[in-house]
Amino acid sequence: MCKSINICLLGSSLSGKTCLINSFIYSSFSDDQYYPTIENKLSKIYSFNKVLYNINIYDTAGSSELDNLVPDTIKVCDAFIIVYSLNNRESIDKIDYYRDLILKYKSTGQYLSSTSIFQQSQSINIPIMLVANKSDLSGHVISKTESQDLAQYYKMPLVISSCKNLNSVHNVFNTILKEIQNQSDNIKKQEIINNNNYLNSLNNTNNGGGGVKKIFKTKSQFFFNTNQNQNRTKSEYCLKKKKKDIITYFKDALKDFI
């Protein structure tokens, strides 16, 4: 079964976003006449680290006149590739702009897409990477060292690529998929930690303190609603079950989750 993931490419005009996408989708390089992109979406079934993905790739407009279209695309995407051209210094000026847009619309989790694997955790970092494109061309005004410094400054993975080199093109998408998988693993680890914390909290509940009024179980976490009324009996706090039975229940549930 394929995991559906939406990836958005952002960057200024002539940074090579469309060419990068076409090289990945069709496994070939085309040097056709340039036509400015308004918005486009292409899909590909792709296997990485023994996981099969249905990758939906969104190509966005790079011209400032069409910047108002970009937020709607960001809202439906799960991971982001910011592309700049090694022979155009102005193209790195928009890294801040695109990063801020991503954080504005994605950091709260409010606009996560329906297919997103990150909906259950809003504290996990958003998968974003940098691509220094057109490495095959001469006349570079941005050096490899400067590109590495940019990646370190923004704390993002970097791939130096050429659309003519299919290995580097695949390296771009392998890198963003690796980031996606790392974030998914971090979510699972955090859920286990949260469940352990809740279980420990239940273990530490004493007869005189606020007991457990209701216990809810969802896929991602357990919610405990405490009640401060000390006059209620222990059986009422535990939904008429013994405390040790509740603890056993959660231990079994945690084993199934792990």
The domains of the chain are located at 3-190, 205-257
In the chain, which residue ranges form alpha helices assigned H by DSSP?
17-26, 70-75, 95-106, 144-154, 166-204, 234-237, 243-257
CATH 3.40.50.300 fits 3-190, yes or no: yes
* Beta-strand relationship, 128-133 and 79-85: parallel
Q: Could you tell me the CA-to-CA distances from 46 to 40, 120, 160, 194, 227 in Å, in that order?
A: 19, 25, 21, 33, 50
pTM confidence score: 0.69
Q: Encode the chain (258 residues) as per-residue pLDDT tens digits.
A: 889 999 999 999 889 999 999 999 998 887 765 666 778 899 999 999 999 999 999 999 877 767 788 999 999 999 999 999 999 999 999 999 999 999 999 875 443 443 444 443 443 479 999 999 999 998 899 999 999 999 999 999 999 999 989 899 999 999 999 999 998 888 778 778 888 887 777 777 655 554 444 444 444 444 444 444 444 544 454 445 555 565 666 666 555 555
Which residue bears the tokens 């680290």? 49
CA atoms within 13 A on the CB side of 13: 10
- Name, in order, each residue with C-beta under 8 angstroms of 125's C-beta and a sequence gap of 6 or more: 183
> Phi and psi (nearest 5°) for 202?
-65, -40
CB 102 within 8 A of CB 80: yes
Measured from the Cβ of residue 188, the count of other Cβ atoms closer than 10 Å reads 14
